């Protein structure tokens, strides 16, 4: 049981980005996690989901824990002391990811194709404050390189609308836990997204996330997050999103269903995933994702559309693999198909000047996560 799932002092472990120590059952047949890692895991996942959602204008794992073990430990030391003794980790994490979408046919523009490749990095620092509050600061950046073959006819007069998009964000997230079951989540961010040549001041947006979650005695975590972000084209984008983390009660609890942030997938992506862990260091997953920050961006102020906005949306359907060779390192790779992809150009008032669908195309990527 996971009665002690929300021990706030254990929030420091968030920065390992779900790279926790696990132990195997007798004969090594069933992957299980240590009681310390299992107890603090929900808080780590929630803050990770908050980062995805609060940083994403287009949006942004738990196991059973022994109740008696958690109760005995709480008598010996405070939650912060328990976490430090059990995990011995410093509260810093670093993620590095890359992805590539193979060229797809641009519909309505005969012979034209589009593809993209991207690189993403994130550095995060987290610390508990008192016995119930955890705060996390994160900064990230991404660069996406576009490939257009032929004229997509998206801008007046034709031509290639953009070639490179740069995006970054700074975010602060906080989670307050009470009764070891309930958690309140708040987050805010300032983000920038624009093509080469765009004025930095014109690329800025701001937003935030609010939500809550509840962990049942069975270990099921459910909640909801609502994220809102100002749009470059004017107005505010808001999206409610469910938060679910459920270790399924069959096949020795090797299966996990989750909604929110993703362990394996593109950077700044949220979605719904099903994970299978045959070994303590290896897992496989399938997920439907949606992409976040950088999918709407300011166009160059010397381009064909003055103060224009570009938009690139997609829903990758992927399968992935994650390997944890050591506790502080996670390496993952994935592949799949990018569905319902579309590229759009808007003027400064938010009016659509051109929009094209892109046929489904293969997508591949990978990520490395380190905890220090």
Q: What are the pLDDT digits (tens) for 126-180?
A: 888 877 788 889 999 999 999 999 999 999 888 899 999 999 999 998 888 887 7
Pair of tokens at residue 3 = 């009665």
Domains and CATH numbers, the chain: 8-371 (2.40.160)
Do residues 297 and 232 touch, judged by C-beta distance below 8 A?
yes
Residue 73 φ/ψ region, left for φ over 0, alpha for ψ in the -120 to 50 degree band, beta for the rest: alpha
Q: Using DSSP, state whether 81 is helix, strand or coil.
A: helix
DSSP 328: T
Whether the pLDDT of residue 30 is over 50: the answer is no
Q: Which has more confidence, 336 or 291? A: 336
pLDDT for 333: 97
Rounded distance between C-alpha atoms, residue 42 and residue 291, angstroms:
23
In this prediction, residues 296-323 reach a mean pLDDT of 91
Do residues 271 and 287 touch, judged by C-beta distance below 8 A?
yes
With residue 37 as reference, give the H or E element that holds it.
helix 35-54
Do residues 36 and 108 touch, judged by C-beta distance below 8 A?
no
Taking residue 189's Cβ as centre, other Cβ atoms within 10 Å add up to 28
Rounded distance between C-alpha atoms, residue 200 and residue 282, angstroms:
42
Whether the pLDDT of residue 183 is over 90: the answer is no
Rounded distance between C-alpha atoms, residue 155 and residue 341, angstroms:
18
Whether the pLDDT of residue 224 is over 90: the answer is yes
In this prediction, residues 197-225 reach a mean pLDDT of 91
Rounded distance between C-alpha atoms, residue 43 and residue 47, angstroms:
6
Burial class (CB in 10 A: 0-12, 13-18, 19+), 240: exposed
Whether the pLDDT of residue 197 is over 90: the answer is no
Whether the pLDDT of residue 18 is over 70: the answer is no
pLDDT for 83: 31
Taking residue 179's Cβ as centre, other Cβ atoms within 10 Å add up to 9
pTM, 2 dp:
0.75
In this prediction, residues 211-229 reach a mean pLDDT of 90
Q: At which residue do the structure tokens 């003794």 appear?
A: 85
For residues 98-118, one letter each, b for 16 or more C-beta atoms within 10 angstroms of the residue's C-beta and e for the rest, the string is bbebebbbbeebeebbbbbbb
Do residues 100 and 364 touch, judged by C-beta distance below 8 A?
yes
Whether the pLDDT of residue 332 is over 50: the answer is yes
pLDDT for 133: 81
pLDDT for 292: 58
Q: Of 158, 167, 206, give the one whose Cα is nearest residue 297.
A: 167
pLDDT for 294: 53
In angstroms, the Cα distances linking 203 to 74, 164, 187, 191, 209 are 48, 14, 20, 8, 20
In angstroms, the Cα distances linking 260 to 11, 36, 52, 221, 288 are 18, 23, 8, 12, 11
Q: Give the count of alpha carbons within 13 A of 238, CB side only.
A: 5
Beta 282-291 vs 164-178: how paired, if at all?
A: unpaired
pLDDT for 301: 83
Dump pLDDT digits (tens) for 225-241.
999 999 998 888 888 88
Whether the pLDDT of residue 87 is over 60: the answer is no
In this prediction, residues 249-259 reach a mean pLDDT of 91
Percent of the chain at pLDDT > 90 equals 47
In this prediction, residues 312-338 reach a mean pLDDT of 94
At residue 205 the predicted structure's pLDDT band, cuts being 50, 70 and 90, is very high
DSSP 25: P
As a whole number, the mean pLDDT across the chain is: 78
Q: Which has more confidence, 199 or 26? A: 199
Whether the pLDDT of residue 64 is over 60: the answer is no
pLDDT for 162: 92
pLDDT for 349: 84
Pair of tokens at residue 132 = 């119930």
pLDDT for 5: 39
In this prediction, residues 255-264 reach a mean pLDDT of 87
Rounded distance between C-alpha atoms, residue 75 and residue 104, angstroms:
59
pLDDT for 304: 82
């Amino acid at each position: 049981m996971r009665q002690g799932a929300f021990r706030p002092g254990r929030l420091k472990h968030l920065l390992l980005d779900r790279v926790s120590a696990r132990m195997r059952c007798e004969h090594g047949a069933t992957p299980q996690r240590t009681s310390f890692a299992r107890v603090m895991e929900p808080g780590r996942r929630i803050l990770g989901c908050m980062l995805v959602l609060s940083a994403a204008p287009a949006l942004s794992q738990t196991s059973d824990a022994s109740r008696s073990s958690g109760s005995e430990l709480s008598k010996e030391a405070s939650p912060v002391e328990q976490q430090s003794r059990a995990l011995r980790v410093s509260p810093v994490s670093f993620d590095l990811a890359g992805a590539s979408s193979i060229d797809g046919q641009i519909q309505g523009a005969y012979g034209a194709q589009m593809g993209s490749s991207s690189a993403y990095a994130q550095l995060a620092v987290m610390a508990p404050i008192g016995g119930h509050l955890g705060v996390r600061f994160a900064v990230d950046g991404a660069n996406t390189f576009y490939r257009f073959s032929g004229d997509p006819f998206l801008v007046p007069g034709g031509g290639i609308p953009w070639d490179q998009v740069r995006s970054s964000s700074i975010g602060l997230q906080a989670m307050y836990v009470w009764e070891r079951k309930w958690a309140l989540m708040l987050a805010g961010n300032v983000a920038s997204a624009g093509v080469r040549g765009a004025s930095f001041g014109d690329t800025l947006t701001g937003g935030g996330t609010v939500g809550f979650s509840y962990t049942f005695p069975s270990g099921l975590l459910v909640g909801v997050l609502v994220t809102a972000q100002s749009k470059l084209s004017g107005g505010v984008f808001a999206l409610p999103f469910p938060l679910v983390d459920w270790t399924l009660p069959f096949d020795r609890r090797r299966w996990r269903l989750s909604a929110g942030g993703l362990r394996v997938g593109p950077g700044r992506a949220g979605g719904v995933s099903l994970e299978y862990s045959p070994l303590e260091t290896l897992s496989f997953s399938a997920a439907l994702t949606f992409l976040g920050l950088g999918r709407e961006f300011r166009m160059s102020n010397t381009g064909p559309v003055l103060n224009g906005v570009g938009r690139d949306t997609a829903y990758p359907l992927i399968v992935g693999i994650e390997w944890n060779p050591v506790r502080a390192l996670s390496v993952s790779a994935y592949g799949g198909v990018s569905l319902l992809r579309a590229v759009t150009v808007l003027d400064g008032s938010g009016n659509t000047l051109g929009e094209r669908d892109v046929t489904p195309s293969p997508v591949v990527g990978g990520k490395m996560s380190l905890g220090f």
